[in-house]
Amino acid sequence: MQQSLSVWRGRLQALGPGVLMATAAIGGSHLVASTQAGALFGWQLAWLILLVNVLKYPFFRFGVEYTLTRKESLLMGYQRKGRGYFYSFIVLNIIAAVVNTAGVLLLTASLLQYALPGNLSVTLLCWLILAACLLILLLGHYKALDNVAKVIMVLLTITTVIAALIAWQNGAQAPADYVGPSPWTLASLGFLVALMGWMPAPIEISAISSLWLKAKQRHTHISRAQGLFDFNLGYWLTAALALVFLSLGALVQYGNAQPIALAGSAFAQQLMQMYASTIGDWARPLVALIAFLCMFGTTITVLDGYARTLHASFEQLGWVKHKAALHYWLLAQAGCGMALILFFKAALSPMLTFAMTLAFLTTPVFAWLNYSLMRGDGGIVLSKPLKWLSWCGLSYLIGFSLLYLFWLL
């Protein structure tokens, strides 16, 4: 009994990087894409969301397992593999850091503006949210981020499940004879790519998780078993919540006569309105809280994660040697993201689409890179099921990327 308690105590102390990964993932891919999938197509895409999470599992796991086994970040492995891979990853991160920061910040501010009384401008709310995130990260560092993420995930999980149970108890809004559109058409391919590209998260999150794990290890000893427990908990909680968010759309919005808004902030506001009209106005604050927790958690983890990755990348190149440079990267990323909102707000949607498409098309490359590092760098032995799942995942990623390129052309 004492030994069992000791094991669980160690697992709970090791929790952090996996929870941060889940907090980063449960943003646009869940609140918007998963819920839209349910609103547009009902339950038809539930199996696809689950399948994508299963097929991508090895490549996110390898980022954590490589660090636990080799005692170095995944970025070190990328650099050792070749300059081309490493520089490509840096370029991808710079684009994603700026565009994603602007995108999640604007969506968070839009949701907060809708939920708050009065008429505060979105720009002002962007500044306030950004200031709050930077205050936590600059003063509290990794420990504060770790603690904030855990609080957000607990609240988010509880409130989302409650909202889904309420919707389930009230029953589906679609008429019994309603026949919805099929997602299996070429016209829907763009939506499917966006859904799968960031489900559960962009592939660069595997490298960010590796760095979060290194930061956690400076404060807490983490064994391989404890690290994988943390990762698996965060990853599969993310997959489960993706299905819960799909159920919100399927139960409340699917089959409704009102056209489904496709823009992120407009869709989230529409979800709140439909909850209020079908369940009761008292449910509006609950859904507003879920939406805000989703996006605030994503905003703060996006800020820290990409800044941490860029700092580590340039440090490895020998271009940055000062430890406080991480703060400068945070401020630079925040400033560039805010500048994008101030001067290019109208072009932000196509920029986000470009970033999502780029993330989707580069996923097979970095998924293979993660797999090759585990196979050939350090003699790490993979189980047969994990090998088979890796090859199935690579086949899926390459095949769908080629199909998407063919569709574009």
Residues in the chain: 409
Residues of the chain under the 50 pLDDT cut: none
What is the per-residue pLDDT for 388? 94
Q: Are 293 and 152 in contact (CB under 8 A)?
A: yes
What is the per-residue pLDDT for 48? 92
Neighbour tally for 9: CB within 10 Å: 10
CA angle 356, 180, 35 (to 5 degrees): 40
The enclosing H or E element of 214 equals helix 205-217
pLDDT tens for 100-116 read 888 888 888 888 887 77
Q: Are 291 and 271 in contact (CB under 8 A)?
A: yes
Contacts of 211 (CB under 8 A, 6+ apart): 73, 75, 305, 308, 309, 312
Give the integer Cα–Cα distance in Å for 56 and 360: 12
Which alpha helices (DSSP H) does 317-383 contain, by range? 325-344, 348-376
- What is the number of structural domains in the chain? 1
Q: Are 63 and 72 in contact (CB under 8 A)?
A: no
Of 308, 25, 300, 9, nearest in space to 149 by CA: 300
Give the integer Cα–Cα distance in Å for 20 and 16: 6
Q: Which domain holds residue 327?
A: 2-408
Q: For residue 359, what are its two tokens? A: 């993330």
Residue whose entry in the numeric block shows the structure tokens 């990327």: 401
Neighbour tally for 116: CB within 10 Å: 12
What is the per-residue pLDDT for 333? 94
Q: Are 277 and 297 in contact (CB under 8 A)?
A: no
CA angle 234, 237, 238 (to 5 degrees): 85
Q: Are 99 and 217 in contact (CB under 8 A)?
A: no
pLDDT tens for 347-400 read 667 776 777 777 777 888 889 989 988 876 555 778 889 999 999 999 988 888
CA angle 198, 203, 208 (to 5 degrees): 115
Residue type at 237 in one-letter notation: L
Q: Are 11 and 222 in contact (CB under 8 A)?
A: no
Residue whose entry in the numeric block shows the structure tokens 């990323």: 333
Q: Are 309 and 91 in contact (CB under 8 A)?
A: no
What is the per-residue pLDDT for 264? 55
Neighbour tally for 124: CB within 10 Å: 11
Give the integer Cα–Cα distance in Å for 356 and 198: 7
Q: Are 73 and 211 in contact (CB under 8 A)?
A: yes
Residue whose entry in the numeric block shows the structure tokens 């790519």: 193
Burial 215-244 (b: 16+ CB within 10 A, else e): bbbeeeebeeebbbbbbebbbbbbbebbbb
Q: Are 111 and 295 in contact (CB under 8 A)?
A: yes
CATH code, domain with 232: 1.20.1740.10
What is the per-residue pLDDT for 249? 86
Contacts of 54 (CB under 8 A, 6+ apart): 239, 389
Which alpha helices (DSSP H) does 15-121 contain, by range? 17-25, 35-41, 46-70, 74-81, 83-115
Please give the distance of CA 260 from its chain centroid, rounded to a whole number. Answer: 23
What is the per-residue pLDDT for 6? 66
What is the per-residue pLDDT for 391? 94
CA-CA-CA-CA torsion sign (27, 367, 44, 262): positive
